[in-house]
Each structure stands twice: as C-alpha cells, then as structure tokens.
Amino acid sequence: MTLICLGDSLTYGYGIPRPRVWPSLLAGATGLRVYNWGINGDTTGGMLARFQAHGAARDAHAAILMGGFNDLALGAELGVVKANIFALVQQCFNARIKPLLGIPIPVRHPITFPLLASMDVARACAAYEDLRLWLRSLAEDFSLLKVDFYRCFEEISASAMQGGDRATFDALYTDGLHASEAGHVLMAQEAARVIRGV
C-alpha cells in the first residue's frame, strides 16, 4: 500500500531530522510506502496544485490531507481553506485514492516561531479552531476517516495539567506551532492506529 502525506510544515516536519518525522516513523511502523509531500510554508492552494500535477499520485492508495494555518496566517478567509480541502477530497475520489483528513495539532501559546511576527496570529488561531471543527464535520458527513492529531495532543495536555506537569505537554512542541521529535512520535502512533483500520 502506498500512502501520500500531503501538507505543510506539520507534515514535512519543520526542524526535525528526516528519519524522525511522523511520515517516516509511520512507514517504519506499518511497512507502508509513505511519501512525505509536506512543504514548509505551503498553503492549501499549493497543496491542491501539487496534488493535481504530481504523477505519482496515480499510484497511491490513500492520502492524509492536512493544512490551512499558513493560508489563515497570510490573511485568507476560512471559506477559501475549506474550498481547497474539499477540492482535495474530491480529487482523491476522482483518482480512486482514499482521502483521510488530518486534524492539525493544537497551537500552544506562546508561539515563538519568528516568521509569524508580522501576521495576525490571534485571528489565524481563532479561524484554525473553526477549521478543526469543520474538518470533523466534513469527515462525519462524507464518512471519511480522520487522523485526529489534535485529540491525542489534547489528551496529553489534559493529563499533564491534571498532574501539574506542564512540561510534558510543552515537550511535544519546538515553538508552539510545530511538533518536536516527541510530538512526531505521538503523531506517527495516531496515524498508524488509523491506517491499520483502512
């Protein structure tokens, strides 16, 4: 089985060695052929264009689709992001590729990623939360599988807060926006759990 992981820096694994990003760990855990089609800074429009143009997509059996924060941080309306993700789902169906919706990890404040300094981060984060809720509704409406990275991070957060151990949750991030190596391990575990049911 061949799996495409299409997304932005959360999929590429910003700042993380290539063998330790979640798509690589997922390949090792499942024996699948996994293509990491994440690009740092990419938008859902870029994801859609790349998917349509990439010939290797025709050989894939499934695709995990995840993105949107960059669009929102750059000022795009939420409706544009929704339209692009919906188009990606339809493109998958058209190519006979099973689409899985990636639910992005929660943002941890404060965000220290320097490239966001000139952007309206508060607006982007609020819209990002709305996107997460919409993705879950889309998955339910179309009976799509979802890889809920948000849920597994939130479970760690709740457990850590209950035990007064904020450091456990903080260790899942490098800058409040991107996952650390520990975060990528958690993401790979969640993806493997879902993929094994495909």
Using alpha carbons, list the distances in angstroms from residue 169 to 73, 105, 122, 165.
24, 12, 21, 8
Average pLDDT in the 153-159 region? Answer: 90
For residue 114, give every residue at least 6 positions away whose Cβ sits within 8 Å of its Cβ, in sequence order, or none.
Answer: none
In angstroms, rounded to a whole number, what is the distance separating the alpha carbons of residues 74 and 119?
7
pLDDT of amino acid 78:
98
For tokens 């809920």, name the residue.
Answer: 148
pLDDT of amino acid 112:
85
Q: Give the DSSP letter string of 84-118.
A: HHHHHHHHHHHTT-EEEEEEPPPP-SSP--GGGTT
pLDDT of amino acid 196:
87
Better pLDDT: 18 or 54: 18
Which H/E stretch holds residue 82? helix 78-94
> Which candidate, 10, 6, 3, 8, places its Cα nearest to that of 105?
10
Average pLDDT in the 102-112 region? Answer: 91
Average pLDDT in the 92-104 region? Answer: 96
Under a CB-based contact definition with an 8 Å cutoff, are residues 64 and 5 in contact? yes
* 3-class SS of residue 63: strand
pTM (predicted TM-score)? 0.95
Better pLDDT: 185 or 168: 185
Output the average pLDDT for the chain: 93
Cis peptide before 110 (omega within 30 of 0): yes
In angstroms, rounded to a whole number, what is the distance separating the alpha carbons of residues 159 and 10?
23
pLDDT band, residue 164 (cuts 50/70/90): low
Q: Going from the N-terminus, what domains does the chain have, and what CATH number goes with each?
A: 2-197 (3.40.50.1110)
In angstroms, rounded to a whole number, what is the distance separating the alpha carbons of residues 77 and 125?
12
Q: Give the DSSP letter string of 9-21.
A: HHHHTTTS-GGGS
User: Which residues on neighbouring strands pair with residue 2, listed in sequence order?
Assistant: 33
57: pLDDT strictly greater than 80: no
Number of other CB atoms surrounding residue 96 within 10 Å: 9
pLDDT of amino acid 59:
85
